[in-house]
Chains A and B, each alone.
Chain A
Amino acid sequence: MRLKTPLEEDDVLNLGAGDVVYLSGTVYTARDSAHRKILELAGRGLPLNLEGAVIYHCGPVVRESPSGYEIVSAGPTTSSRMNRHLGGILSLGVRGIIGKGGMNPEPFKGRAVYFAFTGGAGSLAAKSIKRVREVFWLEELGIPEAVWVLEVEDFPLIVAIDAYGESLY
């Protein structure tokens, strides 16, 4: 199944654990520090609109050149570290999270899904990333923890936790 961001409520309610999805559109990378930053700024000038957004638990390898940033390798990081921020981030309207290793299924119920991509397969994931649209807090957080706004095309994912609490883990 192909999906395009931003995701609607119906998009995620139609997905079941085990489905394969090819995702196109925009994804926002965020790890530990970025989650804290986003939740700190929510309602107080957060420069991102996360309504229907997909968050990618990823800290990429990035090459900087005169023509901009190139994503060299960009697989998922371990999602369970972000469990503590899950309820907060989903309440901002986020409909999908991409990561590895799984998360608490409960907060996803009725509103969002968790997509798994293969951990370590960063060079393959980078093939689905067409360009860097923007980057937030690069100076402050550094490359792995910054929020990279990435344009993706047909990113192959597995629905590992659906909006009904079903989990593959």
Chain B
Amino acid sequence: MIEAIVEAIRLAVTRIPDDVVSAIGKAFEEETNEIARFNLGNILKAIEIGKSDLVPVCQDTGTLTFFVEAGVESPYLGGLRDMLTEATRRATHEIPLRPNAVDVLTGKNSRDNTGRGVPIIHWELVPGDRIRIAVLPKGGGSENCSALAMLTPGEGWEGVRRFVLEHVKACGGKPCPPIVLGIGVGGGADYVLLLAKKALLRKVGERSPDRRIARIEEELLEGINALGVGPMGMGGKTTALDVKIEVAHRHPASFPLGLVVQCWANRRAFIEIEPDGRVEIWQ
């Protein structure tokens, strides 16, 4: 089972999901700016090399982040944290990944992507006997562009639009655009950022099932692409491949907004563990 988790990590870092590749391909076809085409062309070549040579497409293989939907009757629940940690260790050596876990006090690199609090594991208990795990390797350059804004209810969704557009413009080329933007609205300061990060697991091009939210996603995507930041911040038509919004009810006095920016390498993989130990992996 540890080997299966290693394979899912390998899939995530070496193969960019088809929905992301097709969005980048479309951006390349529509682009007329020569420098933007240089960058998008390089991205498409890098994706091909990752797939054919089974090497990480981006050298920043990120902080490994797992979202676990844990069926409370699964026989594997108790050992799962240890398995995810051991798989992270092995993946670092076998694939290889870049060792990205650094002690905050000494600056010492743990060399295997594990350490205090990492890999990051988010748990959600669900009924049943299956475990579903989403693997999200999250790069540092884009993560540095995350933001939390405690808007006032008076500003509301207008405030969301203003803040998102100002923020994406200010980030420029730093998060490796074209980005995928995860947005959380509601809940509280902690929960809104978790919602924003989870939003990145949805497929590029897939709209929110709530039509009102789907419309806001589309309007924001259009607004961001009108900014002209472009691939790598050097100008062009495509600044974002997609915008994903997840919401929760808010406190009457608060309007929390969380942004998690994902680079074009919107990497992910999923694992499902059956109660009999069978494992399925997909993107």
Contact = CB atoms under 8 A, between A and B. Distances in A.
A100 B172 CA distance: 11
A73 B55 contact: yes
Given A72-B55, A142-B102, A118 B46 contact: yes
B97 to A, nearest CB: 7
A158 interface: yes
A126 B174 CA distance: 21
Contacts of A117: 42
Contact of B172 (A20, A101, A123, A126): A101
B59 A59 contact: yes
A131 interface: no
Contacts of B263: 119-120
Nearest to A81: B144
A122 interface: yes
A92 interface: no
Contacts of A3: none
Contacts of A127: 49
Q: Which of A73, A78, A118 has the most CB of B within 10 A?
A: A73
Nearest to A142: B109
A123 B234 contact: no
A100 B173 contact: yes
Given A143-B109, A145-B109, A118 B59 contact: no
A123 B49 contact: yes
A80 interface: yes
Nearest to A145: B109
A156 B39 CA distance: 11
Contacts of B190: none
B43 A122 contact: no
Contacts of A169: 172-173, 233-234
B235 interface: yes
B96 A120 contact: no
Q: Which of B53, B140, B174, B263 has the most CB of A within 10 A?
A: B174
Q: Which of B46, B108, B139 has the most CB of A within 10 A?
A: B46
A111 to B, nearest CB: 23
B174 A80 contact: yes
A75 interface: yes
A169 B98 CA distance: 29
| 9 nearest A-B residue pairs (beta carbon) | A142-B109, A122-B59, A121-B46, A119-B176, A118-B42, A101-B173, A123-B49, A124-B46, A73-B59
27 contacts: A18-B35, A61-B55, A61-B59, A61-B96, A72-B96, A73-B61, A73-B98, A77-B60, A77-B141, A78-B174, A101-B172, A117-B42, A118-B42, A118-B43, A118-B232, A120-B43, A120-B46, A120-B265, A121-B46, A122-B59, A122-B60, A123-B56, A124-B46, A125-B46, A141-B109, A143-B109, A168-B35
